[in-house]
Structure 1
């Protein structure tokens, strides 16, 4: 009889079947345990005060313990641990719970988990004193290769009926099937009900925007993304700070918290609550880390890992100022265009107090977006072959090697929105094309992101022009402040556009570069 049962897994949901199975396994009952040549544990391995003839201790190795609020890991580790402890009391099991941080896919996963257990418990589990409970064949094989006996849990052929795996039960929950409660263990039901996890899990798992790992795309380099936001934070804050209303201030899509850090230093806001909402797990974790390191002086700084499209984050009429920077074009791009943007604007309106303000700074399409123009680019056309199989560095190197005209062909092949254009076949201007004004600006404002090329190819910058924004906000019920305006980023024009492109009418008259960004100051009327 082994002294320990190692039970690795994410353990987001515990089942009634697991309760009965682990009770029997702890008592040494033969529940389809695979054969093993491992000898019995030597008496010398007995821990002080432990009965070597008593039931085995269940060691719960909770993997992805540092992940939460993602499709793959919707439940935070502390809630998982709480359910396991309650489960253990109800099933009369002696348990030890060990967090195991997420690791990249590796054939050494079993060894990593064993080392994590040893670092927490101070005991090295061996095939002589431990059975591994695991129903996933690929994972079980890793432990079996190390000499461990495997208990098959849900995959146990001795089970009277094939039990549902915990993840399948969780998916039933997310799918709205109330029958999941019949399979879930009472400990899970208790924790889920007390902390309203059923609603949270359903929102996260069914989220149409966020990926399995809690980001918007699998190709985004969050390090360079965060660095870019850090570099522009002071400019963004200077643009909006005079419009901020003290009280409860929310930065939706707060990145790594750089703008909130500047708000934190404003004497006029020292009594305000500063709240950051970030959907990308990587950036949210950096916010939490900064707060723990004393980056903020204001004690009333809070962060939430949430997708505001998944439902209300704050109660109605509870927020004085909402800030959004470079966010709304992502909602448009990754969601369902105007439907998603309207739902977002409505959610902001609903949580804003009467007299409160939403300040939105983002990219913007030019006025008269569909106007046909002549765009003259350096270089010549070049065929754009597939690049999906290349890694990020190789894609960046390839894009950087292209002329501006060839980069247009590359952009049109990779962009997730149609970019129709036609060559003008002008020998004096071989890089000239006829194109809609918005598509011309779409390309010119995207072309200098080789490091995040495929990620940026998901995002449409010019979906709306200023007039569209004003109409949407008025339709929701906001009053558009006169301070709202579209504007042109002259640094981008001077350094990234003008040296490589010229814009003119189809008959050759030069055109000025249009506006590229928008500042919107929208107030909820006092009488609402």
Structure 2
């Protein structure tokens, strides 16, 4: 049992993410602490999150700024990390218990004021009997001050006035550790959501399982093209491919580097490393988005691997512009003679060709029309119960890249080949339907890929090739769909994937 500290000390509990500290906060906290022996208890929430839009600054940098803030402001402080947890009405109780465990101090309404400007959070402490100081939300202030995160957004937008509002402690730490550009990159990142994933609806458990299942097949395809030295897997998922590279005798002196943008997957990589999964001492993981800025110095990487990544850059960025930017970044960090190996989905050669697509109607329900109010909790059950033809109607509503089609009869539609293949290759992804429908698989054909890579400076190795995944055709598509031209002549199923080995010329 934790013993209570019994003396005349008073406390101000200041819960928050505390990514940026303001001059107003210094003035306000000094007024709260003006009488008696007062300690500010900084409960730094989301302490285990960083590099996300909601939490762009790592905890140890936030703590450093708070300590400097306290020194410059003449405040006595305790800084306590509060790890993120699922939303709960007992958030206040959890925070108080975490403080007690970390410091031995049990805060009570008799000796503690809670400083909090977020009404929903303040109510949780008020319910426990704590008096509340509303900080920026105080109703009697002559001027409503900007909240810290609003100042941070000024910084992210390139508005230099953030320096006038931020406390010198934050400015100092941000400048010394080069956090200004890092914050701008993360907050403005087109690929990363508020919590560090690509979409809020993605089920990362299924992705980890899929990565692990496919790792050996992927490694077998790329192994002979890998150049030893510095090997980087961008979008490394849970690190499954690097586990196989780690076992290669010919790569035991190479650096193996995983880059993953999704926080859930990045944390799984760190867990594996901590558990001793990798034998190579030179295995490293970074949570980064390559579009946000260079990660590696120019001409420093021998092999870059990307699997099932480039269609996400296309989909969540600015399509070809973002993909070309990504390719140029990889070219820049590739050593002369080095290689970029990319495996991903691919569009058919003639995406705009009009085709007749006949779809099964007897394999599920056929409602009068698509739903426009799908709830993430019910989407799997609803979509999985639809017929293939009805799923096309639902896909057209949910797909982030609008397309048109014309019903010829109850089973047949006239549609362009690109969106037809986007639907057919996605129709069975019911576990992550609302996530997958934000992505376009058929943005570029293999020939267009070649043009983009040449524009970035790469030369295609003869091993590069378009691929048709016949397992998907035979097991997922052909049993419920058929494809003809507008004269009703059968068409072969087109390319679904590509495998690219792109080399940087030795003399470049």
- The TM-score, its normalising length taken from structure 1, stands at 0.91
Call closer, same or farther: CA 1:433–1:152 in 2, change over 3 Å. Answer: closer
Give the deviation of 1:88 after TM superposition.
2.1
Measure, in 2, the Cα distance between the counterparts of 1:388 and 1:227.
29
Q: Is the 8 A contact 1:7 1:59 kept in 2?
A: yes
Deviations 1:10-57 (A, max 9, x none): 0101122222332332232xxxxxxxxxxxxxxxxxxxxxxxxx5212
Q: Is the 8 A contact 2:47 2:84 kept in 1?
A: yes
Q: Report the equivalent of 2:482.
A: 502
More deviation in 402-411 or 454-463?
A: 402-411
Aligned pairs for 1:217-256 within 5 A: 217-256=199-238
Give the deviation of 1:387 after TM superposition.
4.7
Cα RMSD, aligned residues only? 1.7
Unaligned runs of 5+ in 2: 1-7
Q: Report the equivalent of 1:101.
A: 83
Corresponding residue to 2:454 among 474, 479, 499: 474
Q: Report the equivalent of 2:418.
A: 438
Corresponding residue to 2:407 among 412, 423, 437: 423
Measure, in 2, the Cα distance between the counterparts of 1:172 and 1:343.
26
Give secondary structure in 2 for the equivalent of 1:6: strand
Q: Report the equivalent of 2:432.
A: 452
Measure, in 2, the Cα distance between the counterparts of 1:378 and 1:168.
52
Q: Report the equivalent of 1:45.
A: none
**Is 1:515 equivalent to 2:495 in the alignment?**
yes
Measure, in 1, the Cα distance between the counterparts of 2:434 and 2:463.
35
Give the deviation of 1:157 after TM superposition.
4.9
Corresponding residue to 2:13 among 3, 6, 16: 6
Give the deviation of 1:182 after TM superposition.
2.2
Q: Report the equivalent of 2:375.
A: 390
**Is 1:463 equivalent to 2:443 in the alignment?**
yes
Q: Report the equivalent of 1:35.
A: none
Give secondary structure in 1 for the equivalent of 2:89: coil
Measure, in 2, the Cα distance between the counterparts of 1:20 and 1:432.
70
Give the deviation of 1:413 after TM superposition.
1.7
Corresponding residue to 2:396 among 373, 396, 412: 412
Q: Is the 8 A contact 2:201 2:376 kept in 1?
A: no
Give secondary structure in 2 for the equivalent of 1:66: coil
Q: Is the 8 A contact 2:371 2:394 kept in 1?
A: no
Give secondary structure in 1 for the equivalent of 2:443: coil
Measure, in 1, the Cα distance between the counterparts of 2:324 and 2:30.
52
Measure, in 1, the Cα distance between the counterparts of 2:198 and 2:423.
21
Give the deviation of 1:159 after TM superposition.
4.8
Q: Report the equivalent of 1:315.
A: 297
Measure, in 1, the Cα distance between the counterparts of 2:226 and 2:373.
43
Call closer, same or farther: CA 1:388–1:319 in 2, change over 3 Å. Answer: farther
Aligned pairs for 1:186-265 within 5 A: 186-265=168-247
Measure, in 2, the Cα distance between the counterparts of 1:225 and 1:245.
28
Measure, in 2, the Cα distance between the counterparts of 1:308 and 1:218.
21
More deviation in 116-125 or 440-449?
A: 116-125
Measure, in 2, the Cα distance between the counterparts of 1:112 and 1:17.
28
Unaligned runs of 5+ in 1: 29-53
Give the deviation of 1:155 after TM superposition.
3.0
Q: Report the equivalent of 1:44.
A: none
Measure, in 1, the Cα distance between the counterparts of 2:331 and 2:368.
47
* Stretches of 4+ aligned residues off by more than 4 angstroms: 157-161
More deviation in 487-496 or 461-470?
A: 487-496
Q: Report the equivalent of 1:50.
A: none
Measure, in 1, the Cα distance between the counterparts of 2:323 and 2:468.
23
Q: Report the equivalent of 1:279.
A: 261
More deviation in 455-464 or 169-178?
A: 169-178
Q: How many residues are paired up?
A: 498
Deviations 1:471-498 (A, max 9, x none): 1111111001000001111211121112
**Is 1:26 equivalent to 2:33 in the alignment?**
yes
Measure, in 2, the Cα distance between the counterparts of 1:136 and 1:74.
19
Measure, in 1, the Cα distance between the counterparts of 2:260 and 2:326.
14
Measure, in 1, the Cα distance between the counterparts of 2:353 and 2:39.
72
Aligned pairs for 1:39-438 within 5 A: 55-157=37-139, 159=141, 161-379=143-361, 382-392=367-377, 394-425=378-409, 430-438=410-418
- The TM-score, its normalising length taken from structure 2, stands at 0.94
More deviation in 507-516 or 321-330?
A: 507-516
More deviation in 502-511 or 409-418?
A: 502-511
Give secondary structure in 1 for the equivalent of 2:264: helix
Measure, in 1, the Cα distance between the counterparts of 2:506 and 2:73.
56
